[in-house]
Every structure is written in C-alpha cells, then in structure tokens.
Amino acid sequence: MIELIYRLYIRKLEKEVRGKKVPAHIMVITSFREINEGFNGVRSFIRWCDSFDVREITFAINGNASFEDLKKLAYRIPCRACIVTENTTLEKSGEGRVRVFLNALSGRRELVQIAKELAEDVLKGKVMPDAIDEREIEKRLRVKSEPDLILRANFELDDFLIWQSIYSEHMFYDVDWKNLRYIDFLRILREYQKRERRYGR
C-alpha cells in the first residue's frame, strides 16, 4: 500500500513538473571524489535531465582533480562531455541531447586569461580597444551559456562561472550522488519552478 501511494505521488509530482518551465542549464558544485564514488547517481541525474529537456549540466569540480582524472570520468559519461581546465578544453562526442561540462577552471582565472588574450589581440591589431565590450568577452568564455540553477552544499562563495552566473538561481542542496533518488530530482525542479527569476531587475 505504501509503495503504491509512493508511486502515485511520484506520478503526480512528475506531471506537475513537466507542465512548467525547467532550467535549460544546471550547475552542480561538487568534487571529483564525490562524482567518482557516486557515479551511478551522476549517470541517473544526467538521464533524468535529458528526459526533462535540460540541455546542459556543468559539474563544477572543487579540489585538485587532474586532467587525466577528468578525462577518464568524461569517457564514462554516455553523452557529450567537455573538460574545462586552466590549460585545456577537450570535448568528446556521445549520445542523447544533454551536454555535460566537467569544469575545474575558476571563474577568476578564466577572466584573467580573457583579459590577457584581449591585451595581446589589441597589441597585434586584431581588436580595437573601443571594440571591447561584453560580447567580446562572452565569445571567449569556455562555457558560453548561463546556468539557470546552481546547486551548492553550503553558503561558501565559489567562483565557478562568475560571469555567466550573475543572474542564476542558487539552491542550497547537498547532492548525495550515492543515494540520489528520482523524487529528489523532481523536488529540485519543483523548487526551481516556484521561484520568480528577476534577472537583476
């Protein structure tokens, strides 16, 4: 009886969530160890995102994961996956509609790199100083799209995608990849849908 009620509740919640707008891009602040040890949950999360038309997922990797570690992880992910580190961007093909970013590049470092690139291009005459605007910066970002929703475990400030995430919704949710359930995923989307995004207004 309890199992039947649970299934009916899941079905009701799923219908409710599907009837409203879902985030196109979700960023989860996590660590390589958490993802690696709870990979089955990560794979389920990606599959659920695909089924709800979430197009991009960024796993913002805290800590000191090596490029080789991230590369091995990327090839375990069935869909398209892009590794972003300070020195490298590498993308592999995959199935499905979702694109996953494994991002280990701090937002401040990314903006410093862009500033250096712009300075070099100005010196070479490729860019006029007066032509430098937001669009000139944005086309050089490694991850182009803005996260609609950021899942984070605590109130500590992280600087992943700082340019892209200025208008993102932040949800304090400690994702336990080992025990993540479909109902948890649905509740995350429902909570996002309850919020009124103001986009800086």
- Report residue 119: phi and psi, to 5°: -60, -45
Domain boundaries, position 171: 23-105+144-194
Number of H helices, E strands in the chain: 7, 7
Any domain includes 57: yes
Q: What is the pLDDT of residues 30-45, one digit of tens each?
A: 999 999 999 999 999 9
118 and 190 share one domain: no
Any domain includes 114: yes
- Specify the pTM: 0.91
Give me 70's structure tokens: 């991230």
Residue whose token pair is 């707008």: 21
Any domain includes 32: yes
44 and 97 share one domain: yes
Higher pLDDT, 197 or 84: 84
181 and 121 share one domain: no
135 and 51 share one domain: no
Any domain includes 9: no
Q: Categorize the per-residue pLDDT at 200 as very low, low, confident or very high, splitting at 50, 70 and 90.
A: very low
- Give burial (CB, 10 Å; 0-12/13-18/19+) of 158: middle
Domain count, the chain: 2
